Structure 1
Amino acid sequence: MNKSLEAAAAAFQFLSRFPVRYEIPFTPEVQQRSVVYYPLVGAAIGAVVCAVGWALGYVLPSLPLAVLLLIVWTALTGGLHLDGLMDSADALLSHRSRDRMLEIMKDSRVGAMGVIACVLVLMLKAALIASLYEVAEGAWKAWTLMLVLAPIWSRWVMVYAMFRWETARGSEGLASLFRGLSGRRVFQSFVLAFVLTCAGAVFVLASVEENAVRFTIGLGVLLLPLAAYIAGVMVGSRINRRLGGLTGDTYGALNELVETLLLLWMVFMLSLT
């Protein structure tokens, strides 16, 4: 297996439950090469969710459909990022010392703050997904492109976070695999995310007849990378101030929160039409 294919396989194995049946060495070198393909994993997850939504959007009401899509979404990730969100919430919302917060994140048990954070995020995601189907009316297929784009850019934000902020535990923990990540990898990941976004936008916008709707969707998509960057910096900086760096759990939390904020961004753009 060549290095590019190995890196892509490693990304899918690490971030998803897609059946990739290759023995990939779990080393810092391979994992750092794999981050280039994180947006591709997000696109694959989003494409499956979007396809299910398109198939069932004609027969199910918006709210049950949104919950079903969240179940598919979570199953495809194995709940990896939600687990990070819960552990991070337990720690960061405990108002303890930095060392104590890091200990809390290592605990496999989930506390009250973690459960509350997970439930609220899932509820908000369900409401936002339902809004895309409910309000968009005839153009809902185009608007639900966000179900592909949000996981693309939330995963790119994780890559950027690995580059920008130090690891809270130094050379220990999962995050240490990505210490010293080069800016070149981040840029390559950004280019892939941008290409995937352009391809999806061209495909969907071609199906929209109304110029006003096409313009609003196009503007929303055009500003999406900036929205992802701003959301990632705001959330990541806050976590970094509290912990003096990021951890594997906070990468997952960052993904979930940015994903949710990007869905909120598109619903906001939808309200402008």
Structure 2
Amino acid sequence: MRKLWIALTFLTRIPLPQPTNVTSEEFTLSQHYYPLVGLIVGGVLWASLTLLLPFYPPLITAALVLILELILTGGIHLDGFMDSMDGLLSARPPERMLEIMKDSHVGAFGALGAIAYLLLKFTLLVELCSLGSASALFLVLFMPIIARWIFLIGVYFFPYAREKGLGKGFHESSRNTKWVFFGQGLLLLLLTYYFLHWSGIAGFVLATLGILFFTCKVSRLLGGLTGDLYGASIELSELFFLLGAFPFIT
């Protein structure tokens, strides 16, 4: 339970007391609980949709759920996405891109990227709310779970771009636990098919391939990944999952 507690306080802003004396080993092993953190976030979002839809139209419900997700995560993944867009879209040399991404200030590319991302995600949520079927709402439950597994592709299989940083130790100490990653992926794939059938499989495949392409391209450009890019991968995974699943939802 302590490792789940560490994972929850790291990936969310759920008001829990901060664990003390966390070792590097505990922090690394807590990543095995990231999909479970996604289940908690997804469960809150799914329950909110179920409760709100009888009283509010899809536009308002989708807006409230999107805001709720930002509150639950504290926007930390979106912050990483914005920092990543500032660097990647700057058309500067790789070294300068990394410097821009490290800057805590949000630039024009980060702001525009966030607007485009949130607009598309909001639109997808509105359409899912409009469908109102159990399968459509289950997509919102599975979206955070799968995203918090898929982003670990970058942690396990791609180098870290900086000499220092939280993500570097996270990456290097994760090499011996790949079997857990593959086992969780197989379990998630089976559960996704059981609850969502082919729409879930389509979302799972598009999200996986999309993050593989993103991480490959960025790692080749920058010589590795960073913590900001891990956050961007979570956000993109959620979007790719919804985009892949939506055409097949019943």
Q: TM-score, normalised by structure 2?
A: 0.92
CA displacement, residues 176-224 of structure 1 (integer Å, 9 cap, x when unaligned): 121324455344245346546756775xx5xxxxxxxxxxx41122444
In 2, the alpha carbon distance for the partners of 1:87 and 1:32 equals 24
Residue of structure 1 equivalent to 2:155: 162
CA contact (8 A) 2:39 2:144 kept: yes
In 2, the alpha carbon distance for the partners of 1:198 and 1:72 equals 28
Gaps spanning 5+ residues in structure 2: where?
Answer: none
Amino acid in structure 2 at the alignment position of 1:175: G
CA contact (8 A) 1:10 1:24 kept: no
Q: State the percentage of identical aligned residues.
A: 35
1:188 aligned to which of 180, 185, 203: 180
Cα deviation, residue 72, structure 1? 0.3
Please tell me whether residue 75 in structure 1 is matched to residue 84 in structure 2.
no
Please tell me whether residue 238 in structure 1 is matched to residue 217 in structure 2.
yes
Q: 1:194 to 1:77 in 2, by over 3 A?
A: farther
Cα deviation, residue 236, structure 1? 0.9
Aligned length: 250
Q: 1:22 to 1:85 in 2, by over 3 A?
A: closer
In 2, the alpha carbon distance for the partners of 1:9 and 1:90 equals 32
Cα deviation, residue 161, structure 1? 1.1
1:115 aligned to which of 108, 111, 125: 111
Gaps spanning 5+ residues in structure 1: where?
Answer: 206-216
In 2, the alpha carbon distance for the partners of 1:45 and 1:54 equals 14
Cα deviation, residue 149, structure 1? 1.0
Amino acid in structure 1 at the alignment position of 2:32: V
CA contact (8 A) 1:36 1:186 kept: no
1:221 aligned to which of 200, 207, 211: 200
Q: 1:223 to 1:184 in 2, by over 3 A?
A: farther
SS of 1:167 mapped into structure 2: coil
SS of 1:179 mapped into structure 2: helix
Residue of structure 2 equivalent to 1:88: 84
Cα deviation, residue 225, structure 1? 3.5
Please tell me whether residue 35 in structure 1 is matched to residue 31 in structure 2.
yes
CA contact (8 A) 2:66 2:122 kept: yes
Amino acid in structure 1 at the alignment position of 2:172: G
Amino acid in structure 2 at the alignment position of 1:269: F
More displaced stretch, 120-129 vs 230-239: 230-239
CA contact (8 A) 1:81 1:253 kept: yes
Residue of structure 1 equivalent to 2:8: 12
Q: TM-score, normalised by structure 1?
A: 0.84
Equivalences for 1:168-179 in 2 at 5 Å? Answer: 168-170=161-163, 172-179=164-171
SS of 2:14 mapped into structure 1: coil
SS of 2:151 mapped into structure 1: helix
In 1, the alpha carbon distance for the partners of 2:22 and 2:207 equals 28
1:59 aligned to which of 50, 55, 61: 55
Q: 1:19 to 1:190 in 2, by over 3 A?
A: farther
In 2, the alpha carbon distance for the partners of 1:133 and 1:16 equals 24
Residue of structure 2 equivalent to 1:48: 44
Amino acid in structure 2 at the alignment position of 1:156: W
Q: CA RMSD in A?
A: 2.0
More displaced stretch, 188-197 vs 221-230: 188-197
Cα deviation, residue 231, structure 1? 1.5
More displaced stretch, 218-227 vs 245-254: 218-227
SS of 2:17 mapped into structure 1: coil
